[in-house]
């Protein structure tokens, strides 16, 4: 690698999950602290951080096409490139061998050391850091300064579940929970920095455990209760949960804490017990449905969301039909669905009965049609309700604003508003992906 000057501008591009969005924001704060300015819209940055996702093959391959594009666009002055995130963790130094333009490779638990790595890259030394675990990372990050009205807060990282298709236990490492006191302090700073809503993040967020100030053990519901006491914080969400870690306390919290939004993302992956067992999911279709029922008893209007994988090795047509049946039984407000992607090193990649691509395509289409139907039905059933909408950004048309309902639906409104306002809105019309609302009065809460 050649020597170069300290870059003056940076851009962080985050792919994949919301935790990557959070990590991307934290990296941006580190770079700003180092005196590197965020590149303006449309401007080429002198340092580009690709914060990557390894969950499916398509996501993982994207990084190499992005690197190629950056090098080509840079001509004689290509940007300094850092690969961060889960591809960095999984592939380490191989990335530099495959893409020599990359000067830094930094895993998700080591990105607090990015500033030193930049200094080394400036001296012409390539740097790789994929150390685990994360305990040092959060303490080494700068304080939160300015954030959007809806902010993320990582409370738990890693996963010990080892679903047989999934790379997360290898890329993000073992489950760790950040201490409650640190999280309360960060939540407070987020609110001071402009957050009105906080989404607590974790690969298995409901496996979070910690202690209250008296040293008594608390779970995620206890943390939510503590954070809910911040007066200027109006909304709390959490994602992603695992059915095996749902507690009575968490379910009860949905009925008791007004700031906890009526929304639950609880991935199921399949409606077939045989497939669930082969996935090592530790729940059945039936036990999953019972869990959802209990959330609905605690909070009857709760919007339900999930994740699905079609074409897991050996999945038969009849087993896929059970997934469709489960979708009908639940009536999801929203869901994510994916074709199975064999990931190197995972047990499922070596299983018999890999499903042909065209069968997966067909199943995904049918599943998405069903999920889309339910999403539209959920949105239509919301029409006529009056609810608080948190304004997150300007809409495309002049005078238009875009915000979120308590059920995480996108709502367009027209009229006088500002980013961060919580407005009382009557939901007036529904489409598959958003609703139109009519402004009523400025909500106090």
Is 335 a binding residue for ligand SF4 by CB under 6 A? The answer is no
Site string for ligand 5AD, 147-186 (x = CB under 6 A): ------------------xx--------------------
Cis before 140? omega within 30: no
Contacts of 215 (CB under 8 A, 6+ apart): none
Is the Cβ of residue 171 or residue 379 nearer to ligand 5AD in the bound state? 171
- Are 177 and 134 in contact by the 8 Å Cβ rule? The answer is no
Tell me how many residues contact ligand SF4 (CB under 6 A).
Answer: 10
Per-residue CA distances from 230 to 75, 143, 443 (Å): 50, 18, 18
Q: Is 254 in the site for ligand 5AD (CB under 6 A)?
A: no
Q: Closest separation between CB of residue 169 and ligand SF4, Å?
A: 5
Q: Please, are residues 352 and 299 in contact by the beta-carbon 8 Å criterion?
A: no
Residue 203 touches which of ligand 5AD, ligand SF4, none (Cβ within 5-8 Å per kind): ligand SF4
Distance of closest approach, residue 337 Cβ to ligand SF4, in angstroms? 14
Contact 132, 107 (CB under 8 A): yes
Q: Does 203 participate in binding ligand SF4 (rule CB under 6 A)?
A: yes
Q: Is 60 in the site for ligand SF4 (CB under 6 A)?
A: no
Distance of CA 17 to the CA centre of its chain: 4
Report H helices in 299-404: 317-330, 357-382
Verify binding: residue 39, ligand 5AD, rule CB under 6 A. Answer: no
Strands (E), 395-444: 400-404, 410-414, 422-430, 434-442
Do the beta carbons of residue 235 and residue 408 sit within 8 Å? no
The answer to the question of residue 332 lying near ligand 5AD (CB under 6 A) is no
Q: Are 183 and 153 in contact (CB under 8 A)?
A: yes
From the list 83, 84, 86, 159, which residue makes contact with ligand SF4 (rule: CB under 6 A)?
159
Is residue 169 a contact residue for ligand SF4 (CB under 6 A)? Answer: yes
Residues in contact with 350: Cβ distance below 8 Å, sequence separation at least 6, in sequence order: none
Question: Which residue in 20, 51, 150, 341 binds ligand 5AD (CB under 6 A)?
Answer: 341
Q: Which residues bind ligand 5AD (CB under 6 A)?
A: 55-56, 165-166, 267, 269, 307, 309, 338, 340-341, 343
Q: Which residues bind ligand SF4 (CB under 6 A)?
A: 159, 161-163, 166, 168-169, 203-204, 242
């Amino acid at each position: 690698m050649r020597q170069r000057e300290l870059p003056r501008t940076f851009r962080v591009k985050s792919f994949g999950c919301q935790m990557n969005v959070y990590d991307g924001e934290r990296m941006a704060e580190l770079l700003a602290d180092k005196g590197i300015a965020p590149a303006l819209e449309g401007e080429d940055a002198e340092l580009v951080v690709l914060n990557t996702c390894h969950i499916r093959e398509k996501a993982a391959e994207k990084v190499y096409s992005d690197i190629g594009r950056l090098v080509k666009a840079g001509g004689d002055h290509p940007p300094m490139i850092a690969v961060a995130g889960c591809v960095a963790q999984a592939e380490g130094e191989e990335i530099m061998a495959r893409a020599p333009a990359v000067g830094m490779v930094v895993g998700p638990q080591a990105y607090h050391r990015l500033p030193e790595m930049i200094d080394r890259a400036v001296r012409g030394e390539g740097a790789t850091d994929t150390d685990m675990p994360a305990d040092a990372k959060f303490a080494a990050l700068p304080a939160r300064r300015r954030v959007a009205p809806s902010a993320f807060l990582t409370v738990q990282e890693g996963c010990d579940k080892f679903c047989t298709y999934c790379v997360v236990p290898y890329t993000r490492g073992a489950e760790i929970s950040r201490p409650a006191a640190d999280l309360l302090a960060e939540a407070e700073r987020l609110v001071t920095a402009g957050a009105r809503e906080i989404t607590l993040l974790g690969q298995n967020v409901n496996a979070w455990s910690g202690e209250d100030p008296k040293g008594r053990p608390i779970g995620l519901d206890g943390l939510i209760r503590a954070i809910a006491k911040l007066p200027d914080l109006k909304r709390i969400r959490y994602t992603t949960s695992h059915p095996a870690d749902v507690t009575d306390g968490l379910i009860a919290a949905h009925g008791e804490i007004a700031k906890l939004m009526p929304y639950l993302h609880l991935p199921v992956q399949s409606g077939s017990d045989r497939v669930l067992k082969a996935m090592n999911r530790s729940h059945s279709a039936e036990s999953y449905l019972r869990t959802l029922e209990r959330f609905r008893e605690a909070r009857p209007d709760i919007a339900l969301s999930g994740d699905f994988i079609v074409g897991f090795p050996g999945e038969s047509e009849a087993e896929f039909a059970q997934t469709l049946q489960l979708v009908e039984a639940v009536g999801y407000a929203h869901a994510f669905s994916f074709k199975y992607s064999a990931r190197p090193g995972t047990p499922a990649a070596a299983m018999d009965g890999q499903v042909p691509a065209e069968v997966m395509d067909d199943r995904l289409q049918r599943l998405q049609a069903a999920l889309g139907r339910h999403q539209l039905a959920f949105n239509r059933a919301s029409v006529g309700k009056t609810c608080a909408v948190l304004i997150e950004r300007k809409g495309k048309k002049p005078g238009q604003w875009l915000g979120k309902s308590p059920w995480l639906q996108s709502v367009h409104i027209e009229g006088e508003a500002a980013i961060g306002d919580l407005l009382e809105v009557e939901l007036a019309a529904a489409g598959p992906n958003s609703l139109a609302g009519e402004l009523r009065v400025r909500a106090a809460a």
